[in-house]
Copies of this chain bind each other. A is one copy, B any other.
C-alpha cells in the first residue's frame, strides 16, 4: 500500500536579469534551490537543499538509501509544506525513530552533492547483499547515451543541476523510466530510489545513469537500489572504484558520444558495437 502523499513539486527554474560580456541586460533562467527539512514522526533527520521537483519521492528515497527505513509499508504519509520548508514522514507505528538516534550521531559528510551524508551502518548492510550478474550490451549503452542527451531539460535551460536516469535494459535496447535533475546529484539519485519504491520496481535489470562523478557515495546508493550497472558521463574516484569492486557494481564512466571506459565488471560488457578504427584513433 502506497503512503498518502502530497504532490508538491516546485517549478525548477526562475527567470532573472543578468548582464552579459557586452554589457547588455538579458533575461536568463536559473535553477531553484530550496531547503527542505525532513522529519520522521516529528523528529528532524536532515535538511536537504533541493531543486524541489520531486520532494515526496526525495524524502522516501533518502530514507531508503540511508537505510533508515527498510520497508515502504511502514510509512503512512509523506506531507510536504514548502511554507515551513519541511517534509513530514509519518510511520504507521509512529515510533520509527527510536533506533535512529544512534545512527544520526555517526554521519560521514561525503563527496556527495546535496546530501553528502552517509550513516555508517549503511555500508555494513550493503556487504551482506549480492547484486545479480547482468550482461551490458555496448549497443544499449549507446542507445541510452543518445536518449539521455535529450532529457536534461533543466540543465540546458539553467545549468547548475545534475541529472540521473533509471533505465531498463532489454538486450540491446535501453528504455529510460525516470530522468530526474536536481541541484545535488544525490538528491536526483534519492528521488529515483523513492520513485522505484513507490512503483515497486526492482533494480536487477536496470542501469543507473548520472551526469555526475562516481564517488563512493553514488556507488553505495546504486548498490542499495539493487542496480548492478552504473554509467556516468563524468569520471570516477579511487574509493568509488574500490567499493564497486567490493560490491560487484559494473562501473562504466567517461561515457560521451562513442567513448567510454569500463573500470569494473568488464567481463559483463558485450562489445557488440565497437566503433570503427577512425574513432579509436581520434581518441589520442
The answer to whether B237 and A160 have CB atoms under 8 Å apart is yes
Shortest CB-to-CB span from A244 to chain B, Å, is: 11
Contacts of A215 in B (CB 8 A): 33, 49, 160, 183
State the copy count for this chain.
2
The answer to whether B20 and A261 have CB atoms under 8 Å apart is yes
The answer to whether B261 and A23 have CB atoms under 8 Å apart is no
Given that A238-B31, A238-B33 are contacting pairs, would A214 and B113 also be in contact in the complex, using a CB cutoff of 8 Å? no
Contacts of A50 in B (CB 8 A): 111
The answer to whether A235 and B114 have CB atoms under 8 Å apart is no
The residue from B47, B159, B258 contacting A109, defined by CB atoms under 8 A apart:
B47
**Chain A interface (Cβ within 8 Å of chain B)?**
14, 16, 18-24, 26, 28, 30-35, 46-50, 107-117, 138, 158-160, 183-184, 213-217, 234-241, 254, 258-263, 266, 269, 271, 274-275, 280, 283
The answer to whether A23 and B183 have CB atoms under 8 Å apart is no
The answer to whether A109 and B115 have CB atoms under 8 Å apart is yes
Distance between Cα atoms of A30 and B240 in the complex (Å): 10
Chain A to chain B contacts (Cβ below 8 Å), 25 pairs = A14-B238, A18-B261, A19-B262, A22-B271, A24-B280, A26-B261, A28-B261, A30-B235, A30-B241, A31-B236, A33-B111, A33-B239, A46-B109, A47-B107, A49-B111, A49-B216, A109-B109, A114-B116, A115-B116, A116-B184, A160-B213, A160-B214, A160-B235, A160-B237, A183-B213
Shortest CB-to-CB span from A9 to chain B, Å, is: 16
Distance between Cα atoms of A108 and B31 in the complex (Å): 20
Contacts of A117 in B (CB 8 A): 109, 116-117
Distance between Cα atoms of A34 and B214 in the complex (Å): 14
Distance between Cα atoms of A47 and B30 in the complex (Å): 32
Distance between Cα atoms of A250 and B213 in the complex (Å): 29
The answer to whether A110 and B49 have CB atoms under 8 Å apart is yes
The answer to whether A275 and B30 have CB atoms under 8 Å apart is no
Distance between Cα atoms of A244 and B277 in the complex (Å): 50
